[in-house]
A and B are shown apart, each in its own frame.
Chain A
Amino acid sequence: MNPTLQKEILDTLGIYDLPEEQQNDILERITDLVMQDIITTAVERLPADTIDDYTNLIDANPEPDAVFTFFEQHVPDFDTVVHSAVTSVAEVFRK
């Protein structure tokens, strides 16, 4: 990534001055929290008739985009799921 852009994001998150290891640690934790929340909530909300398709998809070790697309197509109100997953994490950085 363009260093300037990355710096700007990290700076705005307030973690630019941290050592790189800590920066990466925080960034990876953000992803883990958000993604796992999205994925698990989405799985929970999958309609029963899509479980088999989803199982087949996961068994094929799909690219993340494919999983996300599946969720978009089948999980009701997926936007809200995403929103909910992100909001709590976002609050950490607003403090």
Chain B
Amino acid sequence: MSNPEHTPSDMSPEERMREDLRKAADAAGGDFEKLAQLSKDITDTYEKTYGAPTTTPKAPSIETPQTTKPTEAAPQKNARIQDNFQKLQSLTNLESVKQQFEARKKRLNKNSTKEPASSTSQSIQQNTIHALNQVVNEIENKKNQLPNVGTERMVAARTVKDYTDRLVELEQQGADPVRIEKMRKHIETLKTMHSIQTPDIKSEKSTASNEPILDDDARMQQSKDIVHKTIEDAAAKALADIDAQTNALLKKTPDYLRTAPEKTPAALVAEARAKYLEEYEKSFKNKSSFTRSILNFTHASGILRKDKSLSKEARAAKDTYEQLKNNLEEDMRARLEKQNKSPEQIEKIMKRYRNVATGLEQIEKESGILNKARAEAFAVEGNKNLALVYNKTLGWYSKKFTPQQRKAISLGIAVGAGFMTGGMSTAMVGAMRVVGGALGGKIAEKVGNALWKQGVGGSYEKRLEQLKKDYMAGTITPSEYQQRKEGLELLNNRAEALKTTGVLAAGFGSAAGIGQIPDTAIESLFSNSAEAAVVAPPAPEDIIEVYEDKTYKGSGETPTATTQTETATSPATETTAPAPKTDSFVPANESIEGKTFDPLPQENAPAKPGIPELATAENVTLPVELDSSLLSDADIEQMIAQEQGVVVEQAPETPVISESTPEALDLSPEQVEQLMNEELGITEAPQPEAPAVPAPTVAPEPILELDPEPELAIPKENPTDILEQPVIEPAPEPAPVIPETPITVPEPSFEADTELGLETAPLDPQTEKLALLNQYFGKHDFVMGDYLDPKVWTPQVQDADAGIFLRSPQDAVPEQYKAFHTDLKALTLKYNIAVEGRRIDDVLTALAEAMIAEQAK
């Protein structure tokens, strides 16, 4: 240890301390720890001897580079912290950028698989994805490098930097070469260990000290530049492609779209049409009414091709209109092609559109002229008040009706007016009523009433006749015929419903508008709805009509019917007969003469799977070749039984009423009623000779007579027929004629109702059930058959198959049956019979069986 006594006396204490420090440094050589310790001892000694120096001697930073920071290292430390912070921030930013790129990549990949893109678009996407991949990889590389910079390597680099600085300083001070060499070796060792590359230590200080950090920063910046450049390049390329595509599209875009992009082609056509009609009407303003009528007709019919009678303005307006209309049609055609429709389909659609559009245009012309004439007449007559009102009304109309209302109203009109083949269910009407409001429904109601009364709207038979003609003329294929016929039947069923349910929206009341109809009412309608249209009770006159036309004459749609045969075999009849109204399926102007045709398809051919249960008796007449999907469970079980050799009685003595049975067509209603009664086991007179039919071994479930199962082959078109027949009155004599479920019934233990003539035992199961039901319900002063009459029920309680559902025993019950329903409810509760959604006959059957089972116990 140095001693102050050995210091020259002429030196100040501070100078002596420095000298001691220098000697100690020389003694320590390259040993930094030893040097640090000697330095500390000397400083302490001098402080104790002379007190704290006024200025602290500068301690060599080389002494403790890791632990003791040199005074000039403070800003360097801050700089290092700042550098590290920036690097970490860059790392975070890079991660964020990477995530964004990954997300964009996903979107691009998704888009590329969603829809076929153009080649240019695909190229853009591929390039962008490739660029993004590069960026993401670069980011990953940077991420892998950054941790080394921030940890050991960075510390080592800092140490190298500090030592190098000190080394340069010592060299400049002319320090001991041995010491300098030791420090140089130490620095080189650090550099080698941590792979730190720096310029030659002897080079310029600034370069040597900043190089490692600058290198990392530069590389970081380089990465960022790559990212930015990649993004910019991709974006620029995408923008350029988009611009190119846009320009290409613009070149193809018609002028009318470029000049008024905010208007749709249809709107432009509508505007042009309105302008044309306006000018058209003006052209007729100064002509007499007779001349106007003639000119109007000639223009409409195309006789006047050059429109010489039109004003110049009207001709110009017409030209514009025609041009826009053509453009619109081209646009429509392009859209249809995009939908992958075949040329035939497109042609058919376009033809239909042209027909409708031309027809409407003609009416619009007539209407416009008529309105002009009216206005003029008011003015001429001097009835200014009326003219004012007239104009006010037109103004009110144009302002009051929104496009949505007009659309909804037109749907109501379309249905009510019989634009459609027949009509529609009340569910549809309800829906339109809600959308279109009261007016649409009211118009529909008015229109429907008027047209149905006059037989204009329905015209089912005429349409069917036309359909047959079309088929026979070869304009439609057999399958098309069959399909359309089924559609007609479906619609006709709805028409029947329409006729008798107060016509369209009337059921909702004229005051009902948007929001005034209870949601539950709409929901209940929809629940029955389009798939199972509500069939309503026909009005008395309609019942007669349906009774005659549908049930016994094949409802007109049966090709085996007389009219069909005549039509098929007598072309002369076709040409001489009055032209039937053409339906919406086939253009009226297609001739059928001279064309050959195939025989009509069999009427009892299987129905299309898509046609719901509203299809008619064909569905329940079961030929062997029928698709099994059309068979009921009972049918299938019966067929299985037959295959197994089990004889299933078909009551051969009972004629089956079927449309496809020619004999049946000649039966009078009375005869049929009698046959049905026999079929149903309801006979008016005692039939002692009627043997009990052996019970079939296969009968899936007990079926009351009123259940219109397929075996009965009763046409379903007229639910009334079905429902009116099965009067659940006990037969005066047991007359079991229908094979029935082999329920082993013990001897009835209940008191027989002598008044009903049920004392004769044993009773067959059906009779027993009926008797039992009457025992409980007979006290009610109505006949069960009346109760089952659908006329007394609201449509909601009935189903399309003409059954009566019991949603709840108290639900929508007519007043006169409420007491009965109370009893029924009590009994169903007592015997735990489910009623929700079941048909009344099913419920009664189940109830009777439960009662019988209980009595058997």
Contact = CB atoms under 8 A, between A and B. Distances in A.
Contact of B367 (A33, A63, A95): A33
Interface in A18-69: 18-19, 21-22, 24-40, 43-44, 46, 51, 54-55, 58-59, 61-65, 67-69
Point out which of B265, B353, B371, B390 has the most chain A C-beta atoms below 10 A from its C-beta. B353
Interface stretch (B250-258, B315-323, B448-456): B448-456
A4 to B, nearest CB: 5
Nearest to B411: A9
Contacts of B421: 12
A28 B411 CA distance: 9
Contact of A68 (B424, B443, B526): B443
B672 interface: no
Interface in B410-446: 410-411, 413-421, 424, 427-428, 431-432, 434-435, 437-439, 442-443, 446
Contacts of A27: 406-407, 410-411
A49 to B, nearest CB: 12
Contacts of A15: 352-353, 356
Interface in B366-392: 366-367, 370-371, 374, 385-386, 388-390, 392
Given A26-B357, A65-B510, A95-B584, 12 more contacts: A1-B431, A1-B432, A22-B266, A25-B266, A27-B411, A43-B389, A58-B393, A63-B438, A82-B447, A89-B419, A91-B359, A92-B355
Contacts of B21: none
B359 A36 contact: no
Contacts of B407: 24, 27-28, 31
A19 B266 CA distance: 10
Given A24-B403, A88-B363, A94-B419, A43 B439 contact: no
Contacts, number: 228
A34 B412 CA distance: 11
Nearest to A17: B349
A64 B717 CA distance: 38
8 contacts: A6-B411, A21-B266, A31-B405, A31-B406, A39-B394, A83-B450, A89-B413, A93-B419
B607 interface: no
Contacts of B437: 64-65
Nearest to A21: B266
Given A82-B446, A94-B584, A40 B374 contact: yes
B301 to A, nearest CB: 14
A60 to B, nearest CB: 10
B393 A4 contact: no
B360 A92 contact: yes
Nearest to B588: A95
A12 B584 contact: yes
Interface of B: 264-267, 269-270, 328, 332, 335-336, 341, 345, 349, 352-353, 355-357, 359-360, 363-364, 366-367, 370-371, 374, 385-386, 388-390, 392-394, 396-397, 399-401, 403, 405-411, 413-421, 424, 427-428, 431-432, 434-435, 437-439, 442-443, 446-447, 449-451, 454, 456, 491, 510-511, 513, 526, 530, 581-585, 587-588
A14 B549 CA distance: 28
A83 B420 contact: no
Contact of B371 (A24, A36, A92): A36
Given A17-B336, A22-B332, A28-B406, A95 B353 contact: no
B442 A30 contact: no
Contacts of A2: 431, 526, 530
The 5 A-B residue pairs with the shortest CB-CB distance in the complex, in nearest-first order: A92-B359, A64-B439, A65-B438, A21-B266, A30-B410
A31 B353 contact: no
Interface string A62-81: 11110111001000001110
A69 to B, nearest CB: 7
A27 B408 CA distance: 8
A54 B392 CA distance: 10
Given A21-B265, A65-B510, A14 B396 contact: no
Contacts of A18: 332, 349, 352-353
Q: Mostly helix, strand, loop or mixed at chain B's interface? A: helix
A65 B266 contact: no
A13 B419 contact: yes
A7 to B, nearest CB: 10
Contacts of A63: 400, 438-439, 513
Nearest to B526: A2
Given A30-B360, A44-B374, A79-B446, A68 B439 contact: yes
Interface of A: 1-2, 4-6, 8-9, 12-15, 17-19, 21-22, 24-40, 43-44, 46, 51, 54-55, 58-59, 61-65, 67-69, 72, 78-80, 82-83, 86-95
Given A19-B335, A34-B413, A88-B363, A13 B270 contact: no
Given A5-B427, A61-B396, A92-B363, A82 B355 contact: no
A22 B409 contact: no
Given A80-B450, A93-B356, A93-B419, A40 B410 contact: no
B442 A1 contact: no
Given A34-B443, A61-B396, A64-B437, A13 B420 contact: yes
A64 B399 CA distance: 11
Nearest to B447: A86
Contact of A90 (B393, B419, B432, B439): B419
A80 B341 CA distance: 42
A8 to B, nearest CB: 7
Given A28-B410, A94-B582, A33 B363 contact: yes
Contact of B584 (A14, A38, A55, A58): A14
Contacts of A44: 374, 386, 390
Nearest to A29: B360
A40 B266 contact: no
Given A29-B360, A43-B393, A55-B389, A93 B414 contact: yes
B465 to A, nearest CB: 14
B388 to A, nearest CB: 8
A82 B453 CA distance: 13
A56 B659 CA distance: 60
A51 B511 CA distance: 23
B442 A65 contact: yes
A50 B84 CA distance: 92
Contacts of A87: 417, 451, 456
B515 to A, nearest CB: 13
Nearest to A60: B396
A35 B741 CA distance: 60
Contact of B419 (A12, A51, A72): A12
Contacts of A86: 413, 416-417, 447, 451
A64 B401 contact: yes
Nearest to A59: B392
Nearest to B357: A26
Contacts of B406: 27-28, 31-32, 35
A94 B450 contact: no
Contacts of A33: 360, 363-364, 367
A80 to B, nearest CB: 7
A92 B303 CA distance: 20
A14 B450 contact: no
A76 to B, nearest CB: 14
Contacts of A59: 392
